[in-house]
Amino acid sequence: MYTQEITVTNEVGLHAKPATYFIQKANEFQSGIWVEKDERRVNAKSLLGVLSLGIVQGTTVTLIADGSDEEAAVTTLAELVNSGLEK
């Protein structure tokens, strides 16, 4: 299992279009991937799950992955979030 804490800095947070980019990227990995906020964990490959967390600008979340490509998954998704969620 590999984890990394990140803070969402883009203006709109992780909803709508940015969340779609995030989920598309998460689905490129074979590992199970989760996003955790305030002790609530959802599947990072589920749009409804990610949207349900209500992640806004300034929110700190933990990315968690478990599987054969777990470190690459977390690193790539953290870089995507840090870039402002641009495709």
Q: Which of 9, 17, 27 is nearest to 81 (CA)?
A: 9
Q: For residue 7, which phi and psi values (nearest 5 degrees)? A: -115, 130
Question: Which of the residues 2, 12, 15, 20 is marked catalytic?
Answer: 15
82 counts as catalytic = no
State how far Cα 17 lies from the chain centre. Answer: 13
Name the residue with tokens 């495709």. Answer: 87
Q: Which of 8, 46, 41, 49 is nearest to 26 (CA)?
A: 46
Q: Which residues are catalytic?
A: 15
